[in-house]
């Protein structure tokens, strides 16, 4: 994401990502893998939306059967791995533009 000009904050697990979201009011988007130790990307997305209901979220996965997933009441786009910056950039742009229009 840095290569696309975005400021990034990395977290090594879901709990640290949530702590960052709670502590940093300048997070515009959550981009996370579905498969993580301790807390998967779906769980992270649900918990993140509990504190930031309008937070745009993009999940990524190497599993073949995911296109767009619904977890509870969340509709979350999924980017399949491997992907290129040419795949990531429009996905991020769509989410950020949609959030700006809603905001």
Q: Give the helix/strand (H/E) hosting 77.
A: strand 74-80
Q: Give the pLDDT score at 72.
A: 54
Stretch 38-56: mean pLDDT, rounded? 91
Q: Is the pLDDT confidence value at 39 over 60?
A: yes
Stretch 39-65: mean pLDDT, rounded? 89
The 10s digit of each residue's pLDDT in 63-91 is: 766 544 545 566 788 888 999 999 999 99
Q: List the domain range (segments joined by +) for residue 26.
A: 2-102
Residue 90, phi then psi, degrees to nearest 5: -65, -30
Looking up residue 68, the CATH number of its domain turns out to be 3.40.50.2300
Q: Give the pLDDT score at 87.
A: 94
Q: What are 67's two structure tokens?
A: 């296109």
- Higher-confidence residue of 17 and 1: namely 17
Q: Give the pLDDT score at 73.
A: 60
Provide the number of structural domains found in the chain.
1
């Amino acid at each position: 994401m840095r290569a696309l000009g975005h400021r990034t904050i990395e977290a090594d697990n879901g709990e640290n990502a949530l702590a960052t979201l709670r502590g940093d009011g300048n997070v515009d988007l959550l981009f996370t893998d579905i498969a993580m130790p301790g807390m998967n990307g779906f769980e992270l997305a649900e918990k993140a939306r509990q504190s930031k209901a309008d937070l745009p979220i993009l999940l990524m996965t190497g599993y073949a059967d995911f296109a767009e997933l619904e977890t509870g009441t969340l509709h979350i786009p999924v980017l399949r791995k491997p992907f290129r910056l040419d795949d990531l950039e429009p996905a991020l742009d769509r989410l950020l533009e949609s959030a700006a229009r809603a905001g």
